A and B are shown apart, each in its own frame.
Chain A
Amino acid sequence: MRPSRRDFVKLMMASGIAVAVTPMARADAPTFASRETLPGRGVARPKLGRVDGVAKVTGAKLYASDFRAADMPGWPSETAHALFVRSPDASHVYEGIDLDRLALTARPTVVVTAEDVARIGMRVPEFYAGDLFCPVGKTPFFLGQPLALLIFERFDDFDRARLALRDGDYLKFGAETGPLEGPNYGAFRFTRVAGPTPDAPDIYSPIQEGWISPGFFESSGRPIWKPLPVAKGGEYVKGAQFGDEIRAGLDAPDAGTLVIERDFETQSIDPVFLEPECGLAWYDPAKRNLELVLGVQSPFEAASAIAFLLGEADADHKPASINAQFAYVGGGFGGKDHTPFSLYIALAGMFLPGRPVRLAHDRFQQFQGGVKRHAFKMHSQIGVDRKSGLITAFAADHVLDGGGMANYSPSVAVVGATGALGIYSVPKVDVTTVALHSRGVTAGSMRGYGTLQTMTAIEVLADEICTALQLDPIEFRRRNALATGGRTMTGNPYSVSVRTPEILAKLEANPIWRDRASYKATAKHGFLVGTGVAVCTKDYGTGADCSLGRVEIDAEGRVSIHGDAVEMGNGIGTAIANRVAAHIGVVADRVGVSEIDAFDALGLFTTGDAYSTTQAAQDEAAKNPRWVPAISSATSASIGAHVGTQAAAEAARVLFRFGLWPAALAIWDIPPDDPRAKQWDEAFWQDGMLLMSGLSPLPLKAIAAKAHAMNGITGTMAHAFSRWAWSQATFTVGEYQLTADIDALAIRRGDGDFEPLDRSAVAFPPADYNRIGTAFTSLCGTLVRIEIERATGIVRIDKAYSVLECGEALAPEVVRGQAQGGFAMGVGYALLETLPPFEDGPGNGQWNLGQYRIARASDLPVNDLVVEILPPLSPKEPPKGMAEVVMIPVVPALLNAIFEATGHRFDSLPVTADRIKGVLA
């Protein structure tokens, strides 16, 4: 067991419940924590590979779905099972479940309904606002809305009931009401009018004026975008007037301007992470402690939401403490970030006190209840100067189907809208967006997060412009690409490298592009050949991201790392270990992820909302040295490499500088006044040996032993926060002042406890950076050559190439794998995957992976996909997120290739073989 779990440490106080880690009783089974700490001390493993490699090829218990009560030392050994019952109907009054018809061997011990959660005083966290269960007598608000949890003491009873409910007609519905209306989830307008020259200030921009939303809505929930001459929303009127002017220009272009006006629609899809959502809960009424095992992208949020849920419940249902433990995640793609599933796991535990309860979706239920990607309807107008080929103006209106609950809909709408220009620099932009409620399954976060939809639309438009103006697609992009320092739609420049010209040059020189005409000319009989290109730039980060990291070295030179980021396949554990290794010379053999509870020594607390705070509030709060704008983030938004590794990397840097370096000096016998004592930047590692010119190499083990012997610094933990810039703080370490891109630091000497250091100065990124759409972006360009069989319309991808940049690639093979996986997901989205929105869609509980096709190897050019990762511009260039951007250009590149092959522009997704066959007929 690791030290962090030996002590009772209080994580936070929420609603009077201590959410904490309790000690676990000794048992023969390994502890959850030791199973989740990889690769594990003494485990033989190949030199190459991920830190979780051995565990994942040997079937070790790792994922939330692998654990039962019997695997948890100190828990009762029997597992009870809870069954989710969801509604396949959102147009009739719900009248209950006919449980009396279930066989006697399939009867639940406990049934949890809307009545029960109301009776005991559950509170729904704001993010999940709405009924946790549809009450009897109401029409379900959406398809797939939970109706009840049925809890069974025996697996066999549960299993029989699951089948009966899946295949039978046990739900009672009454009068037809039609689907219920709901307000929209958010409406925004992003308008920018550039000054006369690139250097001149903008005439109007969101960053100058603030973000605006229309003040008025039709009864349907749709916004009224016109600038109504009324007092309410004065700020809106100003922006809308600029926007309407841009639209007037596009409606009546001069002869020298080409305007293309198009609709584009995208479909709802499922993330299809392979591990369906699941978890364990055990409420021990004697200790009033709730134990949880969860597998989510947002562990801190899940723990906080559960604490809020139960915070004002009656005495029998309010735990005094919650111990949430987080497992490796079997795929997420956004779909396990802020999912309401965790709330129901907690409920299942609270309603069968004394018994560990497992709640798990099967795949039908995952389709029925898991969050989906938003379907978009987009209307776009783009103006291009015929002579120069420069884009003069862009206007678009986006309508998102948010499904039944708000979840991340407002945020997806914003990110989709602000990403709608893709890589382009456009002086006049006006984009409106609204996320609507519907009776569909709730849409939320998924890889690409709105920009997949909007950037597909613009990259297809760009191709159409090139066709119309007979411009080379690479040249068109080169002329219009936003340059480093150029302003984005919100009016701020990116603060990171923008490498569009390099990406374009790579694409242009690639044989797939260079030889496209000759391949087209030599198409086999009965086949059409086409080549497509697209380039996209995608933000990473959300504008208020943070990480926690802790690095320790023992007297034997063995390194342990703890981080709060979640390993869902993204390789974060490996990336953290590699980043730490750069500072302290070895890849740790104990890496713990999703550990929101290993940092109590920092004593952090937070107030307010980091996304919407004011400068005054932030300045006031910052006076307390333990305050940070946010404590722990979801692992999402491609933020792992940049932010998720930052705290551990900085902790490692501090550990080296103030722990290992002084120990090395002592071994070398270099006194403090020797000039070499200040040359820590000159030292470097090779194979676990610290090298310094002119001195004998030192093994890490010897340095560590010395550091311990000197009672020097042997452990560090840090917190980092980014709002498009790092928080920076100064700490006094011994006699030195340290300023670093972290805002909290604790150190451990020898074998002692961690002690927090007070920061002597701190600079948090300004609150008005919240008006930035994004300042971080990375690029990916994709080429595809396809072959379409005329008779069937089947698209075969002959060759493909993706080129991306991500600063320093922390684990290059993980980056390459992400790009290959993004390619596959892009192919599925473009050609295969779709979910009908309503009654015949996933909310009916009858969908599985036979009907819903994701890309198989045979749909992909597994032996003909080349991924190129540009080296960082400078050794100083920090890691940039890339997990989302690699998926995006694949989709428009395929559409552009299909156009080149068929002469037909499809304006909705997916472009199935049947649809292609249809246009070829």
Chain B
Amino acid sequence: MTRPKWLLLLVVPVLANGLVFAATGMAVSSDTSRTLASPESFAAITDPVQRSAAYFTELGKVLESPRCLNCHPAGNRPSQGDMMRPHEPPVFRGPDGMGLVSMRCNTCHQGANFDQGRIPGHPAWHLAPLEMGWQGKTLSEICQQIKDPARNGGRTPEDLIDHIGADTLVGWAWHPGVGRTPAPGTQKEAGALVAAWVKSGAACP
């Protein structure tokens, strides 16, 4: 399989995201922006709190990728694509996070990605609840939020290991279909980072 042409066209937005990362205190160099470091590679950080925070910072590459942020909007309308433009046609959260009555998420987003229409899909396609909105937040704020059961869907830190490491809707982020850049690394690697972070006390950057 050859590298699709459109990937070349997406270099600019990816770099732009790199700048955002830098502004939020993450040390991300462009050559590692598509991969995730293993928990072991942070062994050199001796301070356990700093090391824990470093795990989360690395995980932040995933959380702040368009694949996650687009459906964790701050308001009621998701964004779309690597450029994270407002979703077209205009769709809104609705009472259950699955759209308004006149336009439900799953009419277009069906069980699986459909590359013909460059449309992503998953059986559980929906918006994250409003309290789980991440757009416009710093990674540090997202970290506090993700630990707060009131704003993370009532999850314990241990639940997060499974949610990020094994949930299939989250896992879509690494298999997003034609026209979208996958989240960095693999879901397994992201899960390993969550596990290391939780076990090290879940410190925030």
Q: Which residues of A contact B (CB under 8 A)?
A: 88, 101, 163, 167-169, 171, 840, 844, 846, 849-851, 853, 856, 858
Contact = CB atoms under 8 A, between A and B. Distances in A.
Contacts of B80: 850
Given A167-B178, A840-B9, A850-B85, A858 B3 contact: no
B46 interface: no
Given A840-B9, A846-B9, A168 B4 contact: yes
B90 A168 contact: no
Nearest to A89: B5
Of the listed residues B2, B3, B80, the one surrounded by the most CB atoms of chain A closer than 10 A to its CB is B2
Contacts of A163: 115-116
A853 B86 CA distance: 10
Contacts of B3: 169
A169 B83 contact: no
A163 B4 CA distance: 11
B90 A167 contact: no
B42 interface: no
17 contacts: A101-B2, A167-B5, A167-B115, A168-B2, A168-B4, A168-B5, A169-B4, A844-B9, A846-B6, A849-B88, A850-B80, A850-B85, A850-B88, A851-B81, A853-B88, A856-B89, A856-B90
A367 B2 CA distance: 25
B2 A167 contact: no
Of the listed residues A88, A169, A849, the one surrounded by the most CB atoms of chain B closer than 10 A to its CB is A169
Of the listed residues B5, B88, B179, the one surrounded by the most CB atoms of chain A closer than 10 A to its CB is B5
Contacts of A168: 2, 4-5
Given A167-B178, A849-B88, 12 more contacts: A88-B5, A101-B2, A163-B115, A167-B115, A168-B5, A169-B3, A846-B6, A850-B85, A851-B83, A853-B88, A856-B89, A856-B90
A465 to B, nearest CB: 37
Nearest to A165: B5
Contacts of B179: 167
Interface in B118-134: none
Contacts of B2: 101, 168-169
Contacts of A851: 81, 83, 85
Interface string B146-175: 000000000000000000000000000000
Nearest to A844: B9
A101 B3 CA distance: 13
Contacts of B115: 163, 167
A719 to B, nearest CB: 46
A163 B114 CA distance: 12
B81 to A, nearest CB: 7
Contacts of B116: 163
Contacts of B5: 88, 167-169, 171
A267 B12 CA distance: 21
A171 B12 CA distance: 22
A88 B81 CA distance: 21
B88 to A, nearest CB: 4
A853 B178 CA distance: 21
Given A840-B9, A844-B9, A851-B83, A167 B88 contact: no
Given A850-B88, A853-B88, A858-B90, A167 B83 contact: no
A167 B4 contact: yes
Contacts of A171: 5
Top 7 A-B residue pairs of the complex, sorted by shortest distance between their CB atoms: A850-B88, A169-B5, A167-B178, A167-B4, A169-B2, A168-B4, A846-B6
Contacts of A850: 80-81, 85, 88
B87 to A, nearest CB: 8
Contacts of B178: 167
A846 B81 CA distance: 12
Interface string B1-31: 0111110010010000000000000000000
A167 B80 CA distance: 18
Interface SS majority for chain A: loop
Contacts of A88: 5
Nearest to A849: B88
Contacts of A840: 9, 12
B175 to A, nearest CB: 15
Contacts of B85: 850-851
A664 to B, nearest CB: 56
Contacts of A844: 9
Contacts of A858: 90
Nearest to A163: B116
B52 to A, nearest CB: 36
A167 B81 contact: no
B102 to A, nearest CB: 12
Nearest to B179: A167
B6 A167 contact: yes
Contacts of B6: 167, 846
A365 to B, nearest CB: 14
Nearest to B5: A169
B11 to A, nearest CB: 11
Contacts of A169: 2-5
Nearest to B12: A840
A161 to B, nearest CB: 13
A171 B4 CA distance: 11
A851 B83 CA distance: 9
Contacts of A856: 89-90
A861 to B, nearest CB: 17
Contacts of B9: 840, 844, 846
Contacts of B90: 856, 858
Interface string B164-196: 000000000000001100000000000000000
A381 to B, nearest CB: 38
A639 to B, nearest CB: 35
Contacts of A849: 88
A850 B83 CA distance: 11
A526 to B, nearest CB: 16
A440 to B, nearest CB: 17
Nearest to A845: B5
Interface in B86-116: 88-90, 115-116
A88 B6 CA distance: 11
A171 B9 CA distance: 15
Contacts of B81: 850-851
Nearest to A851: B85
Nearest to A159: B116
B136 to A, nearest CB: 12
A840 B5 CA distance: 13
Nearest to B7: A169
A94 to B, nearest CB: 15
Of the listed residues B80, B81, B83, B116, the one surrounded by the most CB atoms of chain A closer than 10 A to its CB is B116
A441 to B, nearest CB: 16
A856 B86 CA distance: 14
Nearest to B2: A169
Nearest to A162: B116
Contacts of A167: 4-6, 115, 178-179
Nearest to A101: B2
Contacts of B89: 856
Nearest to B177: A167
A632 B115 CA distance: 44
A213 B80 CA distance: 49
A840 B89 CA distance: 22
A856 B3 CA distance: 35
Nearest to B3: A169
A844 B10 CA distance: 12
A591 B3 CA distance: 53
A163 B179 CA distance: 12
Nearest to B80: A850
A849 B3 CA distance: 25
A849 B80 CA distance: 13
Interface in B57-96: 80-81, 83, 85, 88-90
A163 B178 CA distance: 10
Nearest to B1: A168
Nearest to B83: A851
A856 B88 CA distance: 10
A553 B5 CA distance: 60
